[in-house]
Copies of this chain bind each other. A is one copy, B any other.
Amino acid sequence: MSFPYELLIVDLDGVVWRGGRIIERNVEALRILNDLGVKLVFASNNSSISRRGYAAKLTDILGFKVPVNHVFNSGYLASKWIMDNYGSMKVYPIGEDGLIEELTLMGHMVVDDVLSIEAVVVGLDRNLTYKKLETAHKAITMNKALFVACNDDHVLPVDEGTIPGAGAIVAFLVKSTGLNPIFTAGKPNRYLADLLLKSMGVPKDKVLVVGDRCDMDVTFALNSGLDSLLVFTGLTKPDTPLTIKPKYAFMDLLEFVEFYL
């Protein structure tokens, strides 16, 4: 029996690592698939690290070369969506270095003067201040700046529990401005899948989404018309009630791969 997929869209947190710990059995499975010639792309809603940063980290962990253009994060997707739809803009980011890098590489100009801001892009920002929120609020309400979200994740898992995610910052601005984001770039939005299917030339039924969350990864697959594999190496446990049924559910990716070998 041969492996039935040509392209895997692999989530990072909860699949390749969790917090600071590498998930060895999933990494082993990714090495096997890479040797088999299966295309691997990596997709994270986290905008704090740039694609370049993730590519270097993944190459190091996996032991094979992961090119930057096989890595997608929500900061890149937000930057690209704005460029595709509005061209180069003057953007005020609420986010960390990785988001600023993606915006700049895409050709946007990062600004912080309310009157010159054309778009506000919101990702996780652990250096968030009221001043930043006030600037974003004024740009959206007074300057009619576009309001774009990197993702709507309500929390991020950390060792001792959770910390608030980009979705909470978005919720703040939704409440204060009375407006919803015009676009939310990360999973479960199918935007990433549309980009990939266009550029990779793989038929839909040969693409598998691998992730640890129903609300993000499985829903993303469903929104995109792709098959999904839920693994229990991250936030979801075998006894977690599933809100949406994935095509497959396995303890980890290696168990799934071994099923076909």
Name A residues whose Cβ lies closer than 8 Å to a Cβ of B. 125-130, 133-134, 137-138, 141-142, 154-155, 160-165, 167-176, 178
Do A163 and B175 have beta carbons less than 8 Å apart? no
Q: A125-B130, A167-B176 are in contact. List 20 more A-B contacts (CB 8 A).
A: A128-B128, A128-B130, A128-B133, A129-B129, A130-B164, A133-B164, A133-B168, A134-B163, A134-B164, A137-B164, A141-B161, A141-B162, A142-B161, A155-B176, A164-B176, A168-B172, A168-B176, A169-B172, A170-B175, A171-B174
Number of copies of this chain that the complex holds: 2
CB distance from A174 to the nearest CB of B (A): 7
Asked whether, in the complex, the Cβ of B137 is within 8 Å of the Cβ of A162, the reply is yes
Q: Is the CB of A127 within 8 A of B130?
A: yes
| Chain B residue at smallest Cβ distance from A161 | B142
Known: A127-B130, A130-B125. A167 touches B175 (CB 8 A): yes
Write out the residue numbers on chain B whose beta carbons fall within 8 Å of the beta carbon of A178.
154
Note all chain B residues with C-beta closer than 8 A to A170: 175
Please indicate which of the listed interface residues A138, A163, A174, A176 has the most CB atoms of chain B within 10 Å of its own CB.
A176
Residue of A138, A155, A160, A164 most packed against chain B (CB within 10 A): A164
Q: Quick one: closest B residue to A162, CB to CB?
A: B141
Q: Are A163 and B142 in contact (CB under 8 A)?
A: no
How far apart sit A154 and B176, CA to CA, in the bound complex (Å)? Answer: 5
B137 lies within 8 A of A126 (CB): no
Interface centre among A160, A165, A172 (most CB of B within 10 A): A172
Q: Tell me the bound Cα distance from A138 to B160 in angstroms.
A: 9
CA distance A178 to B173 in the complex (A): 17
CB-CB nearest 10 A-B residue pairs: A171-B175, A164-B176, A128-B130, A168-B176, A172-B172, A168-B175, A168-B172, A171-B171, A142-B161, A126-B130
- Decide if A164 touches B154 in the complex (CB within 8 Å): no
CA separation between A178 and B155, bound complex, in Å? 10
* Of B129, B173, B175, B176, the contact of A128 (CB 8 Å cutoff): B129
A154 contacts B137, C-beta separation under 8 Å: no
Q: With contacts A129-B129, A130-B128 known, is A172 near B164, CB below 8 A?
A: yes
Residue of B nearest to A155 (CB): B176
